[in-house]
Structure 1
Amino acid sequence: MRRFQSESIMKDERLVSEIAELLPEMESQLSGLPNGHARHDVSLLAETRDPITAERAVREALSRESRVEAIVQRLGRPTLLVRNDTFELPQAKIWRSRLYPAKSRLDAAIRSVGRLEVTGLSVPYAGTAWMIAPGIAVTNRHVVAELVRPRGGEFVFRASPIGQPLTARLDFKEEYAGVRPFEVRVKRVLYVADQGADAPDLAFIELEAPKGRLLPPPVPLYEGEPQPGQVVAVIGYPAEDPRNSLLDQTRLFGGIYDVKRLAPGEVMGKVDRKVFTHDCTTLGGSSGSVVIDVETGGALGLHFAGEYLDANYAVTVAELRRHLQKLDGTAKRAVRPQSVSLAQTLKPEPEARVSAASLQDRPGFDETFLGTAANLKTPLPELSAALAEVAAVVDADAPGSARHLLKYQHFSIAMHTERKFAIFTASNIDGSLSRMLKRGQDRWSFDPRLDASLQVGNALYAGNDLDRGHLVRRLDPAWGSLEDAKRAEKDTFFFTNATPQHIEFNQHLWLELEDYLLGHADTLDFRACVYTGPVFSEEDPEYRGVQLPRAFWKVAVMVHAETGKLTATAYTVSQADLITDIEFVFGQFKTYQVPIARIEELTGLRFGKLKNADPLAREETVPGAMPLHELRRLEDIRLA
């Protein structure tokens, strides 16, 4: 079967580079392990710094020894622990960018996968099973073969060694360090596929719904055929397997077995209409795992076997459907599997159409909004030379940053031609004249004054967990006359004002910042000027050809009611490690108040005199360090 062996991992330059970067850590983790091939691959990598050469050499050495299941790629195919119905982050940035936009779908599948446990046998569990239809789970024939025997057209549980009938249950938890099970009794085995070389390794079991609790929903079935290179993930319960090398299991599993894991990989190829191969990392205990298409969250197949350093095997979803139809009676009436289509899932919403002529009268951001006196003006941030080279030119005759401005009602935007998102937005907010407009159906548009190829449209946001996040909030510029307010609110729905944000983005403090500052007792006339934008980094993960910003910044400027002077405060929202390494962690976004000088460092923008109005700029700090304050509540903001 080696014709199905995939070397796509070694063709992925980014992943190969990341593997090489992890070598020092891998070497330290393996100190103290026995010599031999258990450490051979790391020594080769350390000597050559060439993952391709080292991997092929170790493959050749090990293939001459034993063939067991089911680690296919020894490097670059992680296995991720599941805790609280979600998976841990992989180290490799490329896997983070592949799994991140599909997180909610993968988490939904995780909740519908359980460990098949048996009372009356010495083994703790027999394998994995997952919900395929209401009240019905699917697993492998070889998983249930030792538990039941046919009798009179049905399957009955065998007797234990002491003569008691075996019983089985499905536990949908069994997570690492988890203490709360979710056990559901197996009512009966409904169907076991026939034995034979051409028969698929599958079986259906019926579950008894627990009192006062609903069963997990079925995993929707993928519509379509598996394709080589298709990104997938296996969810199951790998067990320690003495047939695998100590190195492989130590590196990939860290000595933790028998708990729920998610292992990403790729489809390698099709054997026939019933079976395909994949290279996700599995071990004994993974039998019966679901193979999930990452893009749609649909079940692509049922994992059942593997050959070490060769391929893992799965029953195709088409074959699963065909055998589901063989169920009869009550079970057949309950079988209504859901389906997900890749084409339908990825079909983007149509964009609204707007003419350039309709935007000609937009005034844009007003630098004298807080006062006409020189000390009260709020100039636009200046672009560094590097930013000026990549900023879209809108009006070549305008001076400075103004030549890059797209003007809207009460706000302006400068666009990055390479990243295709805003470099910055600048908006005027009048809280005393604001209009609370009811939100209608969101219809986003390309700005016709800028080529559509320089903007990111709905295609990025189709079929995933990414929201089109407003940079200028929908109601911030919606003030003044009703006509002006409606025009301003509509203007916030241009793609120039959108950046991708994950649905788990913690926006509570971030969204309330402007409201809090405007309503503060020391804010004169409830007016503010707000600048905001994404933080661009070379380390931002790429998805569908677009690098996704992982952090955002904001600068808010007001006039202090007592002093009559400007006060300017700056904020970032990101993961906990933004200030040091801008590391990417699901659901761990934090909001900080930082000096405006820190925003300049992160963005390449220059805020000029506004830095003098920043209360943090006056704080004593360690030389070379900048003050930063995590905001757990709005009252933590320092305005003076």
Structure 2
Amino acid sequence: MSSFATKRLVDYLKLISEREGGLEALMPEPGVLENTDSPKVEQARAGLKKILVGNHDLNAGEQDGLEAIVVPGKRPAIDIVEGDFLIMDPLWRHLDADAALHAHIKACIPSIGRIELPGHPTAPYGGTGFVVGKGLLMTNRHVAGIFADGVGETGIRMKPGLRAGVDFRRERDQPAGQVLEVRRVRMVHPYWDMALLEVDGLPDAIKPLKLSLADTTADTKQDVVVIGYPAFDPRNARDVQDSTFGGVYGVKRLQPGWIHGRRETASFGKLVPAAAHDCSTLGGNSGSAVIDPRTGEVLALHFGGRYLTMNYGVPAFELARDGRVVSAGVNFAGTASGGTAPWSGWWDGESAVAAGNGATPPPASPNPAAAASASTGTVRAGGGEVTVEIPLQITVRLGIPAGAAVGAVEALAPDVADQTEKLVEPWHDGEYSNRRGYDPGFLGIAVPMPDARDPGKLAPVNGGGTELRYQNFSLRMHAARRIALVTAANVTAERALKEPERGRDYGRKVLGELTKSDQEKWFPDPRIDPAHQLSDAFFTRDGGMFDKGHIVRRDDVAWGATYDLLKRANGDTFHVTNCSPQVAGFNQSARGEDNWGDLENHVLSQASSERLCVFAGPVLTRADQVFIGVGGPRVKIRVQIPARFWKVIVARVEDGIASYGFVLEQDLTDLPPGEEEFIVPENFSRKMVPLFEIERAAGVVFAPEVREADQYADASGAELAMCAGVTQVSELPGVADHPAA
């Protein structure tokens, strides 16, 4: 068992036992846990004995036993049935036996509901919400982000084809209740992980809860209860969850614990002073009410946490200091101060954010994590949202004579020169000695660029090495396939670097020195052999089948400390080395769900800095199908087109980095051979996968620190996948049958 895992468990056990006299009080007695396998009890006892004498060298069984016995016993999840609850656990029995405490908790239950997502392709529900005003429901910003776009109070739009509702019942072994429709999103807070939803038809019997005006800073080790809808979380041990939740998820639960004052945690690209608690929450608890049983008031809005560490909520006391929240009609337990809050600077950029053309404003106080490597620059944002493009998969069915060589050159009758006369190369800096490329220290902690598993397949760069360095990004080319095998980009959301000189025009045409009628002509990179690059003609003379798609998105890396640096970065993205065939409209969130545009925003919801490192590339296999295209004047070529693309997003969190891996794919195994036919599928499958699976499929290698920070199984990946509508899979089909090219 790793020393880190043991230390985390020991720290958590100390935390939940402080009020009972320490770790000795956790020792399970024989016969007490009648429904628990005796080996687990014995393992837990053996592990605890070691800890008590200072020996933290636990084996896997002892670790599992402690988690399976102690955690469910000390931080249970209690069924809510018919709007009431019964607590038999001796540690929490007083919450039931004390008539006043029971009444306060029970009165809150009807006002807390499950956020439903009717028709959503992957997630039946998104989290929890509770009534806070007339027709007003409070939940998390990251929950609202599942079905709505925008930040602030204006310009928030429901995503095409998605709806949301709330069911205030959803109890264990009980029929579902009526789903009331979310009419619109009233507010998405730019600083706190909070959103307000307007709900139609709220019955008079469902009363708004009162948000507390009490500051939780010093109120430690006091009882609180979380009421919400915990979902199964593959991040955590199944036996612990099944023991705590009885193997039933997505139903209304009462989860007691203690509050632990304030602690800083990551949230939407910054560290926020959250209310800390230790209740046994899971992913579906996002948006749950953290309630003080002494008053029945909401102390905090739960928004996240880390297993065996701590959970976090937006303090109600802080929301009471925000005049916009107060004016929205939120119900407080007294007169809220309102006014101008310390984070008011985040509201200043609301109009630009809502319109999608501005960067998220900086916090009121400097963010040390975001300040790191400030000289290296930033990219575009929209309300904390940063989008990074990756090529959409396409498919080709093409009858090719057996044995025909991929890349074979043949005569093509029409001359393509006349087709490209109106194309103009965007302005670009031809002096490459000043390019620094991707910065591995961009997050203030080392995040090395991935490499190829077989470096011999990479195109060599004049002067040595295989890394092509551009302004704010780098890439490595697959020599035979003539496409970037891996790209690495520095992405951030600092307005000062997105618009370094106010009053200048940062439009795409202006930066490229193009007229309105000019079409962009992509150009080769002189630092590598032309034989390792696809020409602009391949993308221009494709019969309208492809767009010229930026692998590293222009708008993401067009930043700099000066206008000239930004302009240089803009031009660098038009090298054909950064180009890949791409279906028109990809990464336009308004077109629907088959894009990657929201993933970065979801990752930022759990990050402590607005900066990201984004790696992306195609999954190149020997089985990729072939497209006949133009390679130049009177030349046609056969090019294999990748059927999958991958992306890895790395964010800074309070204790290091977190990485998330995704794959966009279409199953091509059932496509019959036949005549030449380009197929644009209606739906693509977005998946979250472990980083080692991307390595295996794509023939790339991530640095150990990036691989070890993978959140797929043991951190924040499960909730992110649910919120982003991404399916988690541990293995990509067909990889073994179709090895990397």
Could you say which TM-score interval applies, normalised by the shorter chain?
0.3 to 0.5
TM-score, length of structure 1 as denominator length:
0.44
- The structure with higher relative contact order (CA 8 Å, sep 6+) is 2
Rg: which structure is higher? 1
TM-score, length of structure 2 as denominator length:
0.38
